[in-house]
Structure 1
Amino acid sequence: MEKPTSFAVRIAAAAALFSVHAPAMAGGYYIQEQSAKETGRAYSGDAAAADSAATVFFNPAAMTELEGLNLDANVHAIFVTTNHENRGSFRTVPGSASTPGITGNGGGTPFPQPLVVPSSYASYQVDDRLWLGLAVFSPYGLMAEYDEDFFGRYDSRRSELFTLNVQPSVAYKLSDNVSIGGGVDIQYAKVHLTSAVPGFLPGDPDGFLDVTGDDISMSWNAGIFLKSGALRAGLHYRNEMKHELEGDFVVTGLTGPLAGANVATSVDADLNLPDIATLSLAYDNGGPGRLYATARWYDWSDFEEIRLEPLGLDDAVNTQNYKDSWSVAVGGEYDVSERLTLRTGTMFDATPTQDGFRTTRVPDGDRTWLSAGATYKLTDHMEVNLAYAHIWMESGPITRTETFFDGTPAVFTTDTRSRTGGNIDMVSIGVSSRF
């Protein structure tokens, strides 16, 4: 029989690190909020709009539409509201058939108000054929911290994911109607997660699990940009990013028969972020109005399981069973005057999570966007972009079972049962310059 220590570390750490991958890869935590202009049209212009340096992110091939030097800086303030309803969460007791309920509040206000997401871009026309670009942005992220007495505390307490991506890019105009481009993604990822570890008996104090890990990895993206009369098309592919996280986890606070499970050790885990393919169309006949449409596909189905490799312990495997997801968006804009442009858009963004695998770290559901925005030209070389978006998130069930100290007389489980829903409000501001 293995010592309780080894099983506590293996199972408790797995429960936390399994969840770190989920927020990084759920539809709501892929940060597509990279441009104030695109926020205003619900990201319907993405790979074909080519009207600011942010196209370095959406489709570097479309940089060939930008003359001279272009700069673009954006800040997005994201306000997330979510609620958790305890629907009979319970735990088992070692050596007993009883299943006492897990009590606690709904978690409080877990998300920062607001969550701030910055991004910046630059493109430069070298000559009639060649363009260079640079993008600095955060493609994935999460910050959530529930109250200490949250009823779902054995599933999650604190979830923090930070990524920073630097993308040098190049574009080449093959002809007046066809351009190609691509970029190298250099990405830093850092994870910090905590959760409560239940005591041996319901009245015993909880323990505490603290997990950290980080990594730097590289990947690539590429696109093509086409023009034919009033119609423009952009196709962009962002290759998966594979991180090999290295970090530490610490279990503290367990008492009585579980006191020997308090431990500090190291852990390795893979964090694989999905392939993303985008197809965008834009219609511009030279008049005051323009129309946009975009479809995206996310390769989430490869995310079937998480494998954790704690030092000196057996691998821990947790099934995630994600499905491929997709989104579609349409939008338009109208030049009210030479200085003022108004825009709007809507998007449907499907979640990759499935019932039975959803977690309190990722209270995700299908999302529907409605957005509006405006651009005001301050001078011939500078403009300000403003946007607002409201996002409705479909509610969904959470049913999570975690096993502690499996294979020992101390084995027991916790079942977190909840239903969650929420909304998101976003305000974006950007400044674009051309020289």
Structure 2
Amino acid sequence: MHTASSIARITALAVGIAGALAFSNADAAAFQLKENSAKGLGRAFAGSTSAWGDASVVATNPASMRLLDGRQFQADLSAISFSADFEKFDARYNGTGGPGTGAPVSGGNGGDAGMIAPVPAAYFHVPFGENDNMHFGLSLTAPFGFKTDYDKDWVGRYHGVTTDLKAVDLGAAFSYDVNPYVSFGASVFVQHLTIELTNAVDFGAVVNGAAQQKAAAAVLAAGGTPAQAANAARQASGAAAQQGFYPGSADGYASLEGDNNAVGYVLGGTFSPSEDTNIALSYRSKVEHKITGGKGKFDVPPAVQVALGMPGSGLFVPTSGKATLTLPASLTASVTHRINDRWTVMGDVTRTAWKPSFDKVTVDFASNQPDNVLEFGYNDTTFGSIGTEYKLSDTITLRGGVAYDETPTSYAHRDVKVPDVTRKWLSFGLGWTPSEKTEFNFGYTHLFTNEPAINIVSATGSTLKGKYDVGGDILAASVNYKF
């Protein structure tokens, strides 16, 4: 039947496995999640690792555990409402892997691909040692996650239908206070990553393109000229079309599931030049996931199975796969200054090293499916925020903040899985402390965005052009209990 080289360009990319292993509803850049604290959300995460009284520092900068008041447990829950509506589309077959008909791809705009997603977090802190100068903490957070879900028959189905990625961290932290003004800390976490992806495969274009390449190869092998090979390919394409194999004539679907556990760490230092000022620096390591047990499944029309010689060809059959996916490292500088008994101001800057992690991903299939190297072209990003707190009374605290959140994507590399764009944050928050032991916090953020545009070509030759109307709102609540 067909050789691997005759279908390699079509099949591996059509499956979209590498897309699954790189992507999966987030409200920091791409699929990074900052939503680990209702208190932090209320000030756009300014002072995220340097402000007093937020137990989320157990996960983000253990050195700042000295800013916590005694033993405590904190639970946070954020709800992210993310919308992504594709509009003004132009989808056509451009001839790659099939005849250059220029015909439009059928289907609608896919509906709202976003969703409302819960993001939980929990923290435990206990001081110990002489004068409580050492600290131990536990944390459960979700630092990465994304989900887009389109109608199954939408116009961009060959580029993606469902993409779902979740990363959950379970961490243990320790810090040591050199004195009341200097502390250092570290944490180690185990990260569980799960991925699921589905996309349509244009098997009509796959079979038609394979017939063209087989006919052209036969002519060239017999000593024919390139012009004769091109003519043979056109004739083979017409014959395949008469048999019902042309772009859009025989859709199937591919899906992939994978998971892995890996270990990372956080290092931090917190410095207080005065009793009213904290400066914190923290580094979160990259996490390398070596996925070895991924499961690929394919829904292939019966006629296509015959045309491709399945299962003997070893193409589009259930298979395992392996790939290495690296979630990025980040460096955060955070400052908090207490102006007086009522006003506090703070700021944050985070640099995330997407570029080395998401330059490319290689997927190695256990079947005859050709390996695939996919270029992502992600760039490093900067997140910056400023915020403030105002103590209205002994029990009520008001918060606010703004932030600039840079996307790692660009027009040249943006796709339907993560239609990301740079965003601006406007945040508000409220804290209520009804007793010395109990504190409740609420935060809200609205995201202001532009309309990200895409212009992409699938492996089977369908071009998708258009833009997205994207938006986001985040609501969070937490309870902190001291014991």
TM-score by length of 2: 0.84
Q: Answer yes or no: is 1:379 the counterpart of 2:435.
A: yes
Q: Answer yes or no: is 1:306 the counterpart of 2:306.
A: no
The answer (yes or no) to whether the contact 1:199–1:258 under 8 Å persists in 2 is: no
Aligned to 1:271: 325
- Find the residue that maps to 1:87 and give its secondary structure: strand
Q: Paired residue for 1:326, among 368, 382, 400?
A: 382
| Identity value in percent | 26
Question: Once the 2 structures are TM-superposed, how far is the Cα of residue 264 of structure 1 from its aligned partner?
Answer: 0.7
Aligned to 1:58: 60
Aligned to 1:102: 105
- Cα pair distance change 1:95/1:166, threshold 3 Å: closer
User: For residues 143 and 392 of structure 1, what CA distance do their matches in structure 2 show?
Assistant: 20
After the TM superposition, which segments of 4 or more aligned residues of structure 1 sit over 6 Å from their partners?
Answer: 4-7
Aligned pairs (5 A) from 1:230-241? 230-241=276-287
Letter in 1 for 2:409: T
Letter in 2 for 1:373: G
Aligned to 1:434: 482
- Cα pair distance change 1:30/1:374, threshold 3 Å: same
Letter in 1 for 2:272: K
User: For residues 267 and 244 of structure 1, what CA distance do their matches in structure 2 show?
Assistant: 11
Aligned to 1:282: 336
Q: Residues 279-308 of structure 1, C-alpha deviation per residue, up to 9 Å, x if partnerless?
A: 000001441110000001010111211111
Q: Answer yes or no: is 1:401 the counterpart of 2:457.
A: yes
Aligned to 2:217: none
Aligned length: 425
The answer (yes or no) to whether the contact 1:144–1:159 under 8 Å persists in 2 is: yes
User: For residues 106 and 354 of structure 2, what CA distance do their matches in structure 1 show?
Assistant: 34
- Find the residue that maps to 1:283 and give its secondary structure: strand
Question: Once the 2 structures are TM-superposed, how far is the Cα of residue 24 of structure 1 from its aligned partner?
Answer: 9.1
User: For residues 257 and 11 of structure 2, what CA distance do their matches in structure 1 show?
Assistant: 14
Aligned-residue RMSD, C-alpha: 1.9
Q: Paired residue for 1:247, among 294, 301, 305?
A: 294
Q: Residues 245-290 of structure 1, C-alpha deviation per residue, up to 9 Å, x if partnerless?
A: 1311112133343573541111101110111000000001441110
Aligned to 1:407: none
Letter in 1 for 2:179: S
Q: Paired residue for 1:220, among 238, 254, 265?
A: 265
- Cα pair distance change 1:235/1:352, threshold 3 Å: same
Moved more, 213-222 or 250-259: 250-259
- Cα pair distance change 1:397/1:427, threshold 3 Å: same
Question: Is there any run of 5+ residues in structure 1 with no aligned partner, and where?
Answer: 405-412
- Find the residue that maps to 1:216 and give its secondary structure: strand
Q: Residues 218-257 of structure 1, C-alpha deviation per residue, up to 9 Å, x if partnerless?
A: 0111100000122210001000000011311112133343
- Cα pair distance change 1:266/1:161, threshold 3 Å: same
The answer (yes or no) to whether the contact 1:16–1:155 under 8 Å persists in 2 is: no
The answer (yes or no) to whether the contact 1:50–1:63 under 8 Å persists in 2 is: no
- Find the residue that maps to 1:37 and give its secondary structure: helix
Question: Once the 2 structures are TM-superposed, how far is the Cα of residue 336 of structure 1 from its aligned partner?
Answer: 0.4
User: For residues 163 and 155 of structure 1, what CA distance do their matches in structure 2 show?
Assistant: 23
The answer (yes or no) to whether the contact 1:320–1:357 under 8 Å persists in 2 is: yes
Higher helix share: 2
User: For residues 25 and 342 of structure 2, what CA distance do their matches in structure 1 show?
Assistant: 40
- Cα pair distance change 1:340/1:2, threshold 3 Å: same
Q: Paired residue for 1:126, among 128, 134, 151?
A: 128
The answer (yes or no) to whether the contact 2:74–2:481 under 8 Å persists in 1 is: yes
Letter in 2 for 1:225: T
- Find the residue that maps to 2:41 and give its secondary structure: helix
The answer (yes or no) to whether the contact 1:16–1:156 under 8 Å persists in 2 is: no
User: For residues 81 and 132 of structure 1, what CA distance do their matches in structure 2 show?
Assistant: 39
Question: Once the 2 structures are TM-superposed, how far is the Cα of residue 97 of structure 1 from its aligned partner?
Answer: 2.9
Q: Answer yes or no: is 1:178 the counterpart of 2:234.
A: no
User: For residues 42 and 69 of structure 2, what CA distance do their matches in structure 1 show?
Assistant: 23
Question: Is there any run of 5+ residues in structure 2 with no aligned partner, and where?
Answer: 205-245
